[in-house]
Amino acid sequence: MKIAKRVLLVLALLLVPGLAAAGTITEYTLDDCDDQGCDGASLKITIDDLGNDMFLVDYTVTTDGTQSSDGLNQIGFLAITGWDDVELTAAPNGLSEWSDPVSAPTNANSTCSNVKATNTKVCIYGFVDTTNPDDYTWSFKFSGGSIVAEEDIHFGGQWADGPAPTAGTIISAGLPGETIPEPSAALVFAIGAVIVGSRVKRR
């Protein structure tokens, strides 16, 4: 019984400080944003806080085949601020079809913006045909920084009929939908440890 108590104490000391951070997944979804350039598509940003100022961010555009352009030639968003480095790790038609991420907003007249921001909005350019209804997801890995406030989350991009710098309709959408936090693996493990500990104590 003493060993079980000591194990529980060690688990509590190790896990509790990181429960609110590492392993937390948050989603922001926009389903009705045609007045902000979404053109019938829904947008979702998923942030996975890995701890130690590391984040994985997925940006998903869900099309229904009614969009007025053939595809997307820019993708941009604001989810992490003050980052040191960001890397594109996956794209719907392959990494080679997209530029390296830059710190800039999307721009209808160029490949991302000529006016560079400082470690805020992320932008990439290339092209993916989105005429088939589907989920199109771009994945990014961030080093350093922190998650922005919910009211500062921003969805960007550009619909176009060909690769950038072909001009098209800019997506610039804010006011994210409901935030859906999911329990971290550490939290689930800690709850399980508490349950086991209480059973050992009863015996």
CATH code of the domain in which 112 resides: 2.60.40.1170
Q: How many domains does the chain have?
A: 2
What is the residue type of 109? N
Q: What is the pLDDT of residue 96?
A: 97
**Where are the extended beta strands (E) located within the chain?**
25-30, 42-51, 54-62, 71-78, 80-81, 85-90, 102-103, 122-129, 135-143, 146-147, 154-160, 169-173
| pLDDT tops 60 at residue 202 | no
Residues 11 and 109 in one domain: no
Indicate whether 52 and 8 sit together in one domain. Answer: no
Among the ranges given (29-33, 43-47, 96-100), the one the predictor scored with the smallest mean pLDDT:
29-33
Is 60 found in the same domain as 109? yes
* 102 shares a domain with 12: no
Residues 33 and 113 in one domain: yes
pTM (two decimals): 0.77
Distance from C-alpha of 171 to C-alpha of 10, rounded to nearest angstrom: 49
The length of the chain, given as a count of residues = 203
CA distance 68 to 89: 28
37 lies in the same domain as 127: yes
Block residue for tokens 């493990």? 189
Residues 200 and 135 in one domain: no
Structure-model confidence comparison of residues 203 and 187, the more confident one? 203
pLDDT at position 188 over 80:
no
Are residues 191 and 169 part of one domain? no
Long-range contact set of residues 166-169: C-beta below 8 Å, sequence gap at least 24: 166/73, 167/108, 167/109, 168/69, 168/73, 168/108, 169/37, 169/39, 169/68, 169/69, 169/108
Claim to verify: residue 136 and residue 66 sit in the same structural domain: yes
Residue 203 has pLDDT above 70, yes or no: no
Nearest CA-CA partner of 29 in 14, 13, 6, 46: 46
pLDDT score at 195: 46
- Evaluate if residue 6 carries a pLDDT over 70: no
Question: Which residues form the domain of 59?
Answer: 21-179
Distance separating alpha carbons of residues 146 and 122, to the nearest angstrom: 14
My answer on whether 140 and 200 are in the same domain is no
Do residues 96 and 173 both lie within one domain?
yes
Buried b (16+ CB within 10 A) or exposed e, 171-192: bbbeebbeeeeeebebbeebee
Q: In what order do the strands lie in the sheet with 102-103?
A: 102-103, 122-129, 71-78, 154-160, 169-173
Report the candidate in 6, 13, 8 with the shortest Cα–Cα distance to residue 195.
8
Beta strands 54-62 and 135-143, pairing class: antiparallel
Please determine, for residue 147, whether its predicted confidence score (pLDDT) is greater than 50: yes
pLDDT band at 21 (very low <50, low <70, confident <90, very high): low
One domain, residues 93 and 43: yes
